[in-house]
Structure 1
Amino acid sequence: MKKIYYPFLLLLLTGILFYCKSNKTLSGQAADTTPTANDKLTNAQVDLNASPFVSASDAIKMMQVEDGFEVKLVASEPLISTPVAITFDNNNRIWAVEMIGYMPDTVGTGEDIPNGKIVILEDKNKDGVADERKVFLDSLVLPRAICLIEDGILVAEPPRLWYYKIKNDKPVQKILVDEKYTEGGNVEHQPNGLLRAMDNWIYNAKSSKRYRKRGDKWEIERTHFRGQWGISQDNYGRLFYNTNSENLLGDYFAPGLGANNKNQRGVAGFNRKIVADNKVYPLRPTPGVNRGYMAGVLDESLRLTNFTAACGPLVYRGDLFGSAYAGNIFVAEPSANLIKRNIVSEAGYVINGQQAYQNREFISSLDERFRPVSLYNSPEGALYVVDMYRGIIQHETYLTTYLKKEIGKRQLTQPLSAGRIYKVVPKNKKTAAVTVPQNPEQLVKLLGHANGWVRDNAQQTLIDGKFTQAIPALRQIVKDKKNQLQAIHALWTLEGLGALQTDEVLALLNNPAWPLRMQALSALPSVLNKSNYAQVTSVLTQMLETDTLAAPYIAFITNNIQPLDKTAANNLLRQVVKKYPNNPYVADAVISNLQDQEETLGKELASLASGPDLAINKQMGRIVTSIRNTRANRNPDMLRKEFPKGAAMFNATCQTCHGPDGNGVNALGPPLNGSEYVTGRKDRLISVVLFGLTGPVTVKGHVYKAPEINGDMPGIGYNKDLPNEDIAELLSFIRKSWQNNADKVSAEDVTKVRTQLKGRQKAFTEAELNRM
């Protein structure tokens, strides 16, 4: 006990001393003035050679929390271990995912052992702290997400997505939903989330698939590729997410629209940067970040300067925090032991945001092992925090030698059996969780509850229970529109029950309130059919003349009219282009209808708008050029046969940031297709892949830098067990793929460079590579 307790006591005392000086308390009350960087602990006050394991109660004392709030413990070890995701059932029990196998040490020993679990936590004595644990499922390999639906639960266990039917809290039937839920990628870069959204589809981060259960069948559809870890929705069903280096991304439009054209690399209004400011303000020095050795990653006090592990974004939709927090979006940063608060606003369909504070955070901790990875709304309106409470959070695929040394210095590998779930609540305010009933009449009333979690689950319970007796009341709410949010949920509940009528949707299209028109437009594809499309098309045509906000939605919806009447759909597209030729959101919405027709119908539509600088012409020109380039690509099947290991490695470690087509991914990585780094000198490419590259970087005459790309590409050469033969095959695959046609890389080539660079600890810069 002395080994653990003494360093913690020292750290706690220095923290108390610091807070006395700066007029703060460890319980979280902020001073009257906004803290600055100088108010924080100096390196001399924190032992950078120790990171003691502390109890949950002591960990809370080490947190600085926004004034007026406090953190309360809900569950900790031994009741929970390595939690990464949770959900609540209608009885306020917590279902938690335990990813126990994640990184047991710095080389990931035993990650494939089936020791992951899905557990049910319950607060039997109603004191706010869980006291009973049931194991629902065990023997899972790195499970990552769950979703309760109808009489069962979805469980994401890569590479598959399963549905388990539940009886008496036990799995009674296992059904395969998607055998390719994850395709490639390592544990840091695989789908997750399983968010059951307002439109009754289930969405994921790090994925371009969405799921829906109809009867006993599961539907899988293509959607926009979104985010990395964690996904959330606002009160209108729009999705928000992020990548590890970006604070907040999101969609301006409903998630089910605009993902129809596989030739379209991106659609304006989706994957938008909502908060551009990526600065973070750790409470303590944070040397233990993967690229802490690089200039600019840490400041002069060894604190992380910008997000490097942003995750778990949450739109706060509870009713506890007060109006100033309604719709705020919180983001976790486990590498810096903090949770950030962002404030968002909207003008029309455009959403923007900014950080709530400068030089401080909503929650920050002195405890390096505080690892918030997921955030949730809850039945009582509190903000729930899932804390892995773990030393190592960087996967071995990208683990640098620098971070390995930091892990060893502070003995961060052990212990492995911890984990916490907290809730954040206002001080001196009573909380009461809402239990979602099975009574249809009561459920309909709850659709208007002030807590978004309650509204969501009332909607889902009505649909799961097939409570068709509630339909008359739902129709009345949609008609009355007295409570906007209740009307919106009633609309989507009718849609989920298969009872939504065309007249109900069309009536909302005339409503002066944009949120109601937005929902009607979003739901319109659900009711379109052969008998009503002419009426709907006529209404949409009239809306085009006066409703600028509706224009992108109308262009998106045209895709659903095409199978019913191609001529009517094309005529509507022509009218959209004539009316809004220079609106980039409308232009991409139009293009989303034109898969494999870009060079025929697309050109015709673009010709309706004179002027090469108009949005429709510029965006149409880009996609036509992209299509022609793709046609010139080499045969991918032949390359996969020639370089099987290289293709597999590319799929697992490269395509996430550079795209399966090699043309780069916005906000992540630059193109590999046609890149001078790929097709040029072998030693330069080998050096980059072994040790990484920090931006900016110039590819085909364009300078890529953050936020256009991540800014830092991690190397894979730190893994000494990775054979040179495999690296050579990966590079040969890339140098021969798409339109690249450079010569192969041999194992000897890799060995030579690896030997020359032995002992290197940091990523290359472009200037260094140019001097080689």
Structure 2
Amino acid sequence: MPLYSSLKPLRWTIILTAVFSVFLISLTVSAISADKTEDAKPKVDYSSEMPRILPRTPAEALKSFKLHDDFQIELVASEPLVRDPVAMCFDERGRAYVIEMPEYNDANKEGYSSVKLFEDTNGDGKFDKSYPFLTDMTLPTAVISYKGGVFVGAPPYVYYCKDTDGDRKADVREIVMTGFGRDKGDEGMINSFRWGLDNKIHFSTGTDGGVITVAADKEKKTYNTRGRGVILDPETRTIELTTGGGQHGMSLGIWNRNFVCSNGVPMQVLMYDDRYIARNPYLAPPAAPVSIAPGGKFTKLLRISQIEPWRILRTRLRAQSAKGDYEKGNPSGYFTAATGVTVYRGDAWPLEFQGNIFVGEPANNLVYRAAPKPDGLSLVAPRADQDAEFLASTDVWFRPVQFENGPDGALYVLDMYRELIEGAPFIPEDILKHIDPIGGQEMGRIYRIVPKGFQQPTLPDFETLSSKELVALLESDNGWTRDTAQRLLFERQDTSVSNDLIQLARKSGKPITRATALWSLQGTKSLDEGTLLKGLKDENFQVRKQALQIAEQYANSANIQKQMLALASDPSLEVQYQAAFSLGAFESSARSQALADLLTRHVDNKWMRMAVQSSLNEGAGEVFELLAKNPTLLKQKPAQAFLISLAVQIGAQKDSENVKNLLASLKSLPAADQKLAEILFRNLLSRASGTTKTVIAQSSSEHTAKLLKGMMQTAIQQATNAKLPVKARVDAIPTLSIGKFDDTGDVFEELLTVQQPLPIRQRAITTLGLVNDPRVAALLIESWPGFSPQLRMSAVETLFSRKPWMVSLLDSIKAGKINPGDISPERVQLLKTNPDSKIKKRADALFHNQRLTGRSDIVKEYQAALKLKGDPANGKLVFKRACSACHRLENVGVQLGADLKAIKDRGTEAVLLNILDPNREVKPQYVTYLLVTTQGRTITGLIKEENANSITIARADGTQDTVLRIDIDEMISSKLSFMPEGLEKQINKQEMADLLAYLNATK
């Protein structure tokens, strides 16, 4: 299924930008067939090479497994009880709610998925009853128990559903949220509802996100969840957005650390909760997901199942389309469908397995295990099983897509059991007709893995337990038991057991129990200062970390503040990292000193620098001053980078005291550090607010005047000195945007001449976009004849960035100075939909013949390229010329778009169609966006990264901008592909055949 398909990254809309780039996007089988012509190459009957591999009975499937020697696998449910299971949860009675999604790969039907309720009526650990709790569902993806019912994710909705009359069928179905993305390929949608230590439900929005509203919010605020995670308060039904990542699969570790995965990235850890980042809107952090599998996508997998005939045939056909056997007969055996990442938290297995990470690889019919260990503030998770996978099957229908920790301490494996796990639209037609794309839609299995000799325990009905008995269960070594007991305590809000919880928080011999008790006290509003202080001083660093997070809500207490400050010097690096975030909960001089000390000790650590700045929405000037007094620190590049970030922030903020502190610090720097002073002053001015400019103007300081003069002189000398390295010159050019155009206009004109290296000209063009002067447009238009296509793209971006310059551009097109063909279709569309009626009218007149869609004639014409013999060697040259601005293959190009190694799985006809008609179907992550900033600039491009504070826009010329959300006045989707149409103007049919051969031949 797409959620877990080995083609997920391959199925993603792949970006090949610019006039010379190739963009490969998802398309449907019907779209492919619609453009077939009589000239298309004849179809070949491969039926003799495509014998059907038949499914196995549940009993036969059990015999197909090869499992770690210490364990046994048991079947707990199979068809007809269950079909296509993709998610499950257990309620407090030990019953299981299972999401079924038989709709996968069925293009003709929808609305027949369901949520089943399973019961084990005789206590043998196997489900013997199932009930249609919810029917007529469309693409449900996630489920979790709460208050006798369940929250269910089924994009675009999250529901709360409950059986109130005891017939095991939901008679309550309330919409909690709406607006989540529903991908046309049914992939990367909301998933993995998990109960957190913080008494809230955490889940992933996958790759589709969506702009959502929450039913409980009377103001109907909208939340853009693209690239984000969601934290739901199940009681108030309000939400917060947090760090996101991955595609399908999210797991909270024993201590609530968040793990995600994507098709080719088997496991990532999220390095921070961007609710902290959101406190300082001037901070643009590094991306939170960090891959922790040393081999990543290319980790060698120890597959034991036969390679399906269709894969072998596809490999041979690809080899025939190029010269040589480039795949060397190896069409599988690495991560292409990583899904369902899950941390084992049970107690039935030996202790050393707790905290291990499991990932399903359904395309290779196996389950991979890793054993994470600390790596600084991150983790590294090497393979745990050396000679065989933890679990593998010889049955090619075995599709492990998700896992669940159970009430018995076992790990449950959800097997979708399908003939084809790849999306049908991405299998060549000649092959697809010999496969049943919906084969297995009425089948499915659920297994559990237990140690050999496992005895089924008698499980209590938690619903009947007293609150006091629930408190005692927090001592359990089984994560599911602790979660469920904690959840029920939170649901009941029974403060009569507060003293029992306090005793656990203070005296339990188990660190995880002490932490869980602290959060339970917090959740029931029963936490006292003394117990929290004890938690902040706990002997276990993980408990201290959790206590710090709770303490943020009690930071108005002097005693709590004092202990939080003390933890900034904790022996544990992880506690110090948490302190760097948590100290943002209050302000004081002592806090500024603690943050400055933290930064000084860990200045080389980018995560610590980011965490410290997240706490400095207030007090940045004070910390800047403390750091600037340390001469040893000032000589370190990371410290200088941090001070530069603070200088930009202080300049943008409207706090005169911070600006005065910074200027005083610069004045006190020794003469040897004047170059650094100039750099810091330049960055202070780079986004200077009116308040900052006023303070500088009123300072009438000789030192300030000297800094400004020296800064500009240095920048001009460095930018124009042909004897310097190109990089040094490029780095100096942005400073020119701060000066008056009367002083820098001639310099920019010199930097734009054809004699200058390409990077110099490129940076000059983009820097001009920051200069708000009407003469900029005239300079760019005058220089236009000497611009290469790449530079013209950059110049168009700059001219589009301000309305008067856009008018000048249109004037030049009308006057014949600029060819209309130099303006890409998505730019034309933006002009034609401009809110200014005059610009819109002029664009309609100037570009009335430019067609954005309906490219069937071009597609039909280029079908001839499919008949030509392609030369991969020449295709590599075509790629370098036409595609490398945004894609990287074999160490050539820039990796902006998706991984083009995926191209070989799409089929040559599909690839050709997407190259020539990129706007036929565009996935959300590959749409061109327009951002209008509060400074009046317009920025267009692809959203490359997104978090709570910033959006990184990548442009077709290979450049990018990170824009803080506070600087965005408006963001508009063009609904067009990032790749413009018209590549056929640059690549003839033989070159197209060569390019296709090269793309197919890459490893």
TM-score normalised to structure 2 length: 0.59
- Do residues 518 (structure 1) and 545 (structure 2) align? yes
Give the aligned partner of residue 300 of structure 2: 279
State the shift of 1:306 in Å.
2.0
Q: Distance in 2 between matches of 1:410 and 1:303?
A: 18
Q: Does 1:587 align with 2:609?
A: yes
- Tell me how far apart the structure 1 counterparts of residues 195 and 459 of structure 2 sit (CA, whole Å): 19
User: Which 10-residue stretch deviates more, 173-182 or 191-200?
Assistant: 173-182
SS of 1:78's equivalent in the other structure is coil
* 8 Å contact kept, 2:505–2:518: yes
Q: 1:545 to 1:449 in 2, by over 3 A?
A: closer
1:414: Cα distance to partner?
Answer: 2.1
In the alignment, is residue 354 of structure 1 matched against residue 407 of structure 2?
A: no
Task: Give the equivalent residue in structure 2 for 1:344.
Answer: 372
Structure 2 residue 250 is the aligned partner of structure 1 residue 250: no
1:581-730 mapped onto 2 (5 Å cutoff) = 581-594=603-616, 607=628, 610-611=633-634, 613-618=636-641, 642=829, 684-685=882-883, 694=889, 696-699=891-894, 712=901, 714=903, 718=910, 727=919
> Is residue 428 of structure 1 aligned with residue 430 of structure 2?
no
Q: Distance in 2 between matches of 1:620 and 1:405?
A: 60
Q: CA deviation at 1:542?
A: 2.7
- 1:416-565 pair list within 5 angstroms: 416-432=441-457, 434-437=459-462, 438-528=465-555, 530=556, 532=557, 534-549=558-573, 550-561=575-586, 565=587
Query: Do the aligned partners of 1:525 and 1:557 also contact (CA within 8 Å) in 2?
Result: yes
Equivalent residue for 2:392?
364
Q: Kindly provide the amino acid, as one letter, of the partner of residue 610 in structure 2.
A: D
Decide whether aligned partners of structure 1 residues 367 and 180 sit closer, same or farther in structure 2, where only a CA change above 3 A counts: same
Q: SS in structure 2 opposite 1:375?
A: strand
Is it true that 1:236 corresponds to 2:255 in the alignment? yes
Q: How many Å separate the matches in 2 of 1:511 and 1:335?
A: 46
- Any idea what SS the aligned residue of 2:443 has? coil
Q: Secondary structure at the match of 1:354?
A: coil
CA contact (8 A) 1:49 1:410 kept: no
Select which of 337, 349, 355 maps to 1:321. Answer: 349
- Decide whether aligned partners of structure 1 residues 463 and 744 sit closer, same or farther in structure 2, where only a CA change above 3 A counts: closer
SS at match of 2:194: strand
Letter in 2 for 1:472: N
1:29 equivalent in structure 2: none
Aligned residue for 1:210?
Answer: 230
The CA deviation at 1:486 is: 1.7
> Which residue of structure 2 aligns with residue 179 of structure 1?
178
C-alpha contact (below 8 Å) 1:285/1:302 kept by paired residues: no
In 2: Cα distance, 1:396 partner to 1:261 partner: 45
Q: Distance in 1 between matches of 2:802 and 2:261?
A: 30
In structure 1, how many angstroms separate the alpha carbons of the residues matched to 2:896 and 2:928? Answer: 23
Q: How far 1:310 moved relative to its partner?
A: 0.8
With over 3 angstroms needed to count, the CA separation of the structure-2 counterparts of 1:544 and 1:752, relative to structure 1, is closer
* Contact in 1 for aligned 2:475/2:510 (Cα 8 Å): yes
Counterparts in 2 of 1:92-107, with a 5 A limit? 92-104=94-106
SS across alignment from 2:381: strand
Structure 2 residue aligned with 1:68: 70
Q: Which amino acid aligns with 1:431?
A: Q
Amino acid at match of 1:329: I
Deviation at 1:171, TM superposition (A): 3.1
SS at match of 1:171: coil
- Taking a change above 3 Å as real, the CA distance of residues 605 and 284 of structure 1, as seen in their structure-2 partners, is farther
Q: Indicate the residue corresponding to 2:711 in structure 1.
A: none
Over 3 Å counting, the alpha-carbon distance change for 1:284 and 1:379 in structure 2 is same
Give the corresponding residue for 1:24: none
Is this contact kept in 2: 1:160–1:178, CA < 8 A?
yes
Q: What's 1:576 paired with? A: 598
- Return the offset for 1:146: 1.1
Q: Which residue of 151, 160, 173 corresponds with 1:154?
A: 151
The answer to whether the 8 A contact 1:724-1:751 is kept is no
**Distance across 2 between alignment mates of 1:183 and 1:605:** 50
Pair 1:373-2:408 in alignment: no
- Secondary structure of 1:73's aligned partner: strand
Q: CA RMSD in A?
A: 4.4
CA distance in 2, matches of 1:362, 1:298: 30
The whole-number CA distance in structure 1 between the counterparts of 2:628 and 2:127 is 64
1:586 maps to amino acid:
M
My pick for the range that moved more, 222-231 or 343-352, is 343-352
Shift of residue 371, structure 1, vs aligned partner: 0.4
- 1:657 is aligned to none
Match of 2:360 in 1: 332
Structure-1 residue corresponding to 2:246: 227
CA contact (8 A) 2:243 2:272 kept: no
Query: How far off is 1:252 after superposition?
Result: 5.8
Give the 3-state SS of the residue equivalent to 1:247 in structure 2. Answer: strand
Instruction: State the shift of 1:448 in Å.
Output: 0.8
> Secondary structure at the residue paired with 1:588?
helix
Change (3 A) 1:684 1:485: same
Structure number with the higher helix fraction is 2
Amino acid at match of 2:301: V
Distance of 1:477 and 1:266 partners within structure 2? 38
Higher relative contact order (CA 8 A, sep 6+): 2
- Write the letter of the residue equivalent to 1:712: K
- CA 1:368–1:297 in structure 2 vs 1: closer, same or farther (change >3 Å)? farther
Deviation at 1:425, TM superposition (A): 1.6
Q: CA deviation at 1:334?
A: 0.3
TM-aligned CA deviation for residue 194 of structure 1: 1.3
Length, aligned pairs only: 663
In the alignment, is the contact (CA less than 8 A) between 1:310 and 1:333 conserved in 2?
A: yes
Q: CA deviation at 1:376?
A: 1.2
Larger Rg: 2
- 1:682–1:641 CA distance, 2 compared to 1 (3 A): farther
Residues in 1 aligned to 2:99 and 2:466: alpha-carbon distance in whole angstroms: 30
Cα displacement (A) at 1:363: 0.8
Residues 581 and 750 of structure 1: CA distance in aligned 2, closer, same or farther (over 3 Å): same
Closer/same/farther in 2, CA of residues 580 and 312 from structure 1, 3 Å limit = same
Gaps of 5+ in 1: 1-46, 647-679
How do residues 76-225 of structure 1 correspond to structure 2 at under 5 angstroms? Answer: 76-104=78-106, 109-110=107-108, 113-167=110-164, 168=166, 169-182=168-181, 186-205=185-204, 206=206, 207-213=227-233, 215=235, 217-225=236-244
Q: Which moved more, 1:248-257 or 1:200-209?
A: 248-257
Counterpart contact for 1:50–1:410, Cα < 8 Å: yes
- Quick one: distance in 1 between partners of 2:339 and 2:566? 43
Q: 1:605 & 1:101 partners in 2: Cα distance?
A: 61
2:305 counterpart SS class = coil
| SS of alignment partner, residue 210 of structure 1 | strand
Q: 1:510 to 1:115 in 2, by over 3 A?
A: same
Q: 1:145 offset after TM fit, Å?
A: 0.7
Between the aligned residues of both structures, percent identity stands at 25
* Separation in structure 2 between the aligned mates of residue 754 and residue 161 of structure 1, nearest angstrom: 49
Deviation at 1:84, TM superposition (A): 0.6
Unaligned 5+ segments in structure 2 are 1-48, 207-226, 649-682, 688-733, 735-765, 771-796, 807-825, 834-877, 931-939, 942-952, 958-976
Separation in 2, partners of 1:97, 1:761: 43
1:361 positional shift: 0.3
Which stretch shifts more, 334-343 or 66-75?
A: 66-75
Q: How far 1:383 moved relative to its partner?
A: 1.1
Report the counterpart of residue 651 of structure 2 in structure 1. Answer: none
Give 1:19-30 correspondences, 5 Å limit: none
